[in-house]
Each structure stands twice: as C-alpha cells, then as structure tokens.
Amino acid sequence: MNDPARPGPSDSRGYYRRMQAAVEELLILKGVVTAADVDRQVAAMASRSPERGARFVARAWVDPAFRARALADGAAAAGEIGLEVGPLRLIVVENTPDVHNVIVCTLCSCYPRMLLGIPPEWYKRRAYRSRVVRDPRAVLAEFGTEVPAGMRIRVHDSTADMRYIVLPMRPAGTAGWSAERLAGLVTRDSLIGVERLPDAV
Amino acid sequence: MPSEVAAARFRPGDRVRVRAAHPPGHIRTPYYCRGHVGVVERLCGAFANPEELAYNRPGLPAQPLYRVRFKATELWPDYREDPADVVEIELYQHWLEEVS
C-alpha cells in the first residue's frame, strides 16, 4: 500500500497531472495515439451528461417491457434508444420500497460515464469511496438523503468489468406524465444512489 | 469474449470465501472482503485477468467474473446500521474458494 514513489493525498493532484502529461506526450511521440485522438476522446467524454441516464430511466418508468429488458441487459436496452454505451457491461439496479441501491468504486473511480458523463469530484474522493461501504446511511445523510427505517441498503462496489446505474422509484404524483417530462425529474445523484427522488408536487 | 475461458466453478446461490491473500501487483479484489464469506449473486461472464493485463500479458484463460453478495455485518463486525444491509462486489473466480 505504501509505495514511497507515490505521493500522499495532499500532493496527489500535481503528481498525477504531471504523470498524465508525461504519459500523453510519450504516447504521441511514439505514435501510439495522435493528439487529435486525445482531443476527440476528451470532447466525446465532455459531451455526455446525466441527461442520457435520465432519458434511460424515464423510458423504463413508462415502458414495462423496456424496463424488463434494461434489467436483463442494460447496454442493449440503452442502445435501443440511441444511447451507445461502448464495450462495457451495464447492470441496472432497481430501487424498490424494500431496497435502496448505491454505487461506488472503492478501488479507483469506475463510473457509468456512458450514461452519466464525467463523475463528480466527490465520487472520486477517498472519503466517499471508503465510507459508503461501511456507513452508507451516515454518508447518504450528508447528501441530505434519509433512508427510511426498514429499507435495506445494497451497496455496489464496481471493482471490475461491470458498470452500474440505479433505477430510482418513479416519484408519486406523476401518473400520465410523458417520458420527456419524467426525465426532467431525474437527477445525476439519484442515478448514483446518493439521492432519493421526492414526490412530484 | 476471449477464446480461452476457464470453466465456471460456481453458480448463483453458492457460498464462497474470498482468498485471504496479499499478492503484490494490480489486484482488483478489495482488501475489505478478503477472507470473508458471501453468496454468488450472478455470473457476469469471463474476462481476461486484469492482474496479467496490467503487465501487458494476455491474461488468458479468461476468468469467470461473479457478483458476490456480502452481509455488511460479515464485512464489518462492528457495523452500526441495518443488519440486513449488503455489499455486492465483482470478484474473479481465482479469488474464490468453496465453502463447505
């Protein structure tokens, strides 16, 4: 764990920035990638936003057959509605009155970028990653999220080749709403599981 | 899916123990679950071994990857919240042992 060549948490930003710049320069110099490849990937990453995940969830709320397909194979279901998710597998975890799901990557910061874009800073910090597997209710409370007594928590640690997205419960008071209108209720944090969506007023 | 695939040894519902091992290198088995017992939730497919890929080796045969469900109280003996809470972790087969 304690590799003397690695920086402590306080100076890690500068260290990793320099490392990233050095590796990028080397890859370009050696012809492994071009600067244009890097720019294209950065632009593609920046263009994806949680609006994609919101559209996915709203569709699952209004279309039970789509919801069933999404739970069976998240990536294929996303592809159906024009959300290309690339080679990674996507597991959709469904909130119910009995179970609340939360996503983390304790090892690094694996995140469903294909549907949510670039992760928020807190998702990558050691505090969230180390505490949410151990004291999930305490961490959720810091997000202003209360998990009712009797509702179990299921934490998903994205340690390997799967990515996860939470399917929140459809807010009460939305009967008859269109998928577009429902998508407007879905927040990024509800798709990570640190927020529960309030009833529509 | 890679052409060389190790046969899956576990099925959903099987109890498994994570090896209490501490090898050096790029390991994707979190420390906090090593030595603990959980239940296989599903088989996710087979993937080249990341411990080998990290060193630019092929990582074959591909290892079956499982989602294993642990009780929070199994992972954290002093767990303070709902004892029915669980943590699910993706683990490669070569980290899992049968529990009799």
Which of A157, A158, A164, A166 to mutate to probe the B interface, most B CBs <10 Å? Answer: A157
Task: Provide the 3-class DSSP secondary structure of residue B47.
Answer: strand
A105 is catalytic: yes
Give yes or no for residue A1 having a pLDDT over 50.
Answer: no
A132 contact partners, CB below 8 Å, separation of at least 6: A102, A104, A139, A155
Chain A residues within 8 angstroms (CB to CB) of chain B: 89, 91, 106-107, 133-138, 149, 152-162
Query: To the nearest whole angstrom, how far is the Cα of B31 from the nearest Cα of chain A?
Result: 9
In a domain, B42, yes or no: yes
Hey, are the CB atoms on A161 and B45 less than 8 Å from each other? yes
Round to whole Å and give the CA distance between B31 and B75. Answer: 10
At A73-118, the pLDDT tens digits run 999 999 999 998 888 889 999 999 999 999 999 999 899 998 999 9
Q: Domain segments of chain A: what residues?
A: 9-46, 49-192
pLDDT at A124: 95
The dihedral over CA atoms of A113, A116, A121, A123, expressed in degrees to the nearest 10, equals -80
**Is B30 part of any domain?**
yes
Taking 80 as the threshold, does the pLDDT of residue A6 lie above it?
no
Measured in Å, how far apart are chain B's first and last C-alpha atoms? 31
Superfamily of domain A49-192: Nitrile hydratase alpha /Thiocyanate hydrolase gamma (3.90.330.10)
Contacts of A91 (CB under 8 A, 6+ apart): A74, A156, A162, A163, A164, A165, B44, B67
A169: pLDDT strictly greater than 80: yes
Q: What is the mean pLDDT of residues A54-79?
A: 97
What is the band of A141 on the pLDDT scale with cuts at 50, 70, 90? very high
**CATH code, domain with B55:** 2.30.30.50
Least CA distance to B71: which residue of chain A?
A: A154
- Distance between CA atoms of residues A72 and A74, nearest Å: 7
Structural domains in chain B (count): 1
| Stated pTM of the model | 0.90
Which of A137, A156, A160 lies nearest to residue B81, judging by beta carbons?
Answer: A137
Domain with B39, as residue range(s), is 15-98
- Per-residue confidence in pLDDT tens, chain B, 100 aa: 557 899 999 999 999 999 999 999 999 999 999 999 999 999 999 999 999 999 999 999 999 999 999 999 999 999 999 999 999 999 999 999 999 8
Residue B4 lies inside a defined structural domain of this protein:
no
- The mean pLDDT value for A148-159 works out to 96
Residue A64 confidence (pLDDT): 97
Tell me if residue A49 is catalytic: no
Check residues A47 and B66 and name the one with the higher pLDDT.
B66
* B87 inside domain: yes
Which position has the higher pLDDT, A36 or A1?
A36
Give CA–CA dist A83/A70, Å, rounded.
12
From A12, A49, A108, A130, the catalytic residue: A108
DSSP code of residue B7: P
Q: Is the pLDDT of residue A2 over 50?
A: no
Interface with chain A: mutation pick from B81, B91, B93, highest number of A CBs within 10 Å: B81
Question: Is residue B6 one of the residues assigned to a domain?
Answer: no
Mean predicted confidence (pLDDT) in A165-193: 97
Residue A201 pLDDT level (bands cut at 50, 70, 90): confident
